[in-house]
């Protein structure tokens, strides 16, 4: 490596040293144990905390459930987000495109606590959604939409959607609309063009956006904290409780290390699918 590049990479190296240094300390702290009655922790080093998590069915269930929840949320994001991105990319009117992009960007910028709070108001027992449903006569009693999974799911979908749409939209724009039009001229139906031309050509971006949505979903913390009301706990909330309810930093560190491992393995799977999809597009293009 040239000396010039080495000097330029110094600041990044320093930041990475802090980041990965923290993880080294933290994996080691996971092997310590809590000193009873004090805020500190003490040796000897053991794998006890790691083993304790594996023998705790509640903890394992939360971890497994977090993964299932995040995968379903990713699927919902794709189903709602892809047609929306398609609409933005293919609309004939520039003002519609700018309006939709602007709304996405505002949602994206205005912060997670604000949005979680917005959903808390909308979905509450006396919230707008329940009032509207009662007024139409569809229901007699308010539905329980918050402090359970559905509220967390709806609010998180609202959170992941802009990230996904903004990732996929560029890829759809990059597919020349003439390609779709010529397929139509050759007699293919609109649906067939959509599923056999547009979707396969933008598959790498779909997987990329899905990876983003999944990593946001699996890291979700504030949304279940506010909208779950203590009843919906994802792994992040479990770790937080170990720290601030049980004051057990070593155990929290051990659980976090295992969680990180699971998250990275799944994300690696997503990246592998993305690489495969990119190669498939090049093969089609010949």
Partner 1 sequence: MRHYLGKALWLLFGVAILSFLLLPVVFTAVYSVGESRYFQFPPQAWSLQWYMAFFRAQKFYDALINSAILALVVTPLCLLAALPTAHALARYRFPGQRWIDALVLSPLIVPGVITGVALLSLFRILHQDIGLVRMSVAMIVVCFPYGLRALAANYQGVDPATEEAARDLGYGPLRTWWAITLPQLRTGLLAGAVFVFVEVIDNFSVNVFLVDLHSNTLPIAAYQHIRDVDDPLVAVMSTLLSILSVLLVLGFSRMMGLERMFKSR
Tell me the C-alpha distance between 139 and 286, whole Å: 56
Tell me the C-alpha distance between 25 and 23, whole Å: 5
Rule CB under 8 A: choose which of 149, 188, 267, 280 binds partner 1.
Answer: 267
Query: Exposure of 267 by Cβ count < 10 A (0-12 exposed, 13-18 middle, 19+ buried)?
Result: middle
State the minimum distance, in angstroms, from the CB of residue 114 to partner 1: 3
Rule CB under 8 A: choose which of 47, 110, 144, 179 binds partner 1.
Answer: 110
Q: Is 23 in the site for partner 1 (CB under 8 A)?
A: yes
Number of residues lying near partner 1 (CB under 8 A): 82
Tell me the C-alpha distance between 100 and 247, whole Å: 46
Q: Is 10 in the site for partner 1 (CB under 8 A)?
A: yes
Interacting positions 62-81 with partner 1 (CB under 8 A): 80
* Site mask for partner 1 (CB under 8 A), range 196-235, x = bound: -------------------x--xx-xx--xx---------
- Site stretch for partner 1 (CB under 8 A), options 47-55, 139-147, 159-167, 273-281: 159-167
- Let me know: does 152 contact 223? Beta carbons within 8 Å: yes
- Site stretch for partner 1 (CB under 8 A), options 17-25, 52-60, 177-185, 199-207: 17-25
HSE of 286, CA atoms in CB hemisphere, 13 A = 0
HSE of 85, CA atoms in CB hemisphere, 13 A = 28
Interacting positions 29-58 with partner 1 (CB under 8 A): 29
Q: Is 260 in the site for partner 1 (CB under 8 A)?
A: yes
Rule CB under 8 A: choose which of 63, 107, 133, 200 binds partner 1.
Answer: 107
Cα 251–Cα 61–Cα 164 angle in degrees, nearest 5: 95
Name the token pair of 147: 């402090």
Interacting positions 136-155 with partner 1 (CB under 8 A): 155
Going along the chain, which residue ranges are E strands? Answer: 33-34, 41-42
For partner 1, the closer of residues 128 and 284 by Cβ is 128
Q: What is the DSSP letter of 47?
A: S
């Amino acid at each position: 490596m040239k000396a010039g590049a080495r000097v330029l990479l110094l600041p990044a190296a320093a930041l990475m040293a802090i980041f990965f240094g923290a993880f080294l300390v933290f994996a080691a702290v996971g092997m310590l144990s809590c000193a009873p009655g004090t805020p500190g922790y003490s040796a000897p080093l053991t794998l006890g905390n790691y083993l304790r998590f594996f023998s705790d069915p509640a903890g394992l269930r939360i971890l497994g459930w977090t993964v299932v929840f995040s995968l379903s949320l990713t699927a919902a994001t794709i189903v709602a987000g892809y047609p929306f991105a398609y609409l933005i990319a293919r609309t004939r009117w520039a003002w519609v495109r700018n309006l939709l992009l602007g709304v996405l960007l505002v949602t994206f910028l205005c912060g997670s606590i604000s949005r979680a709070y917005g959903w808390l108001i909308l979905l509450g027992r006396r919230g707008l959604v329940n009032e509207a449903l009662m007024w139409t006569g569809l229901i007699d009693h308010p539905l329980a939409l918050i402090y359970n999974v559905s509220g967390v799911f709806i609010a998180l979908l609202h959170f992941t959607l802009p990230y996904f749409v903004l990732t996929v939209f560029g890829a759809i724009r990059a597919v020349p609309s003439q390609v779709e039009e010529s397929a139509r001229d050759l007699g293919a139906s609109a649906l067939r063009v959509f599923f056999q031309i547009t979707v396969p050509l933008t598959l790498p971006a779909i997987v990329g956006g899905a990876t983003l949505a999944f990593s946001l979903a699996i890291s979700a913390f504030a949304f279940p904290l506010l909208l779950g009301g203590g009843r919906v706990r994802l792994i992040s909330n479990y770790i937080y409780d170990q720290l601030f309810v049980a004051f057990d930093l070593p155990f929290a560190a051990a659980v976090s290390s295992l969680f990180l491992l699971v998250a990275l393995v799944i994300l690696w799977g997503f990246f592998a699918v993305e690489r495969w999809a990119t190669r498939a597009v090049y093969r089609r293009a010949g």
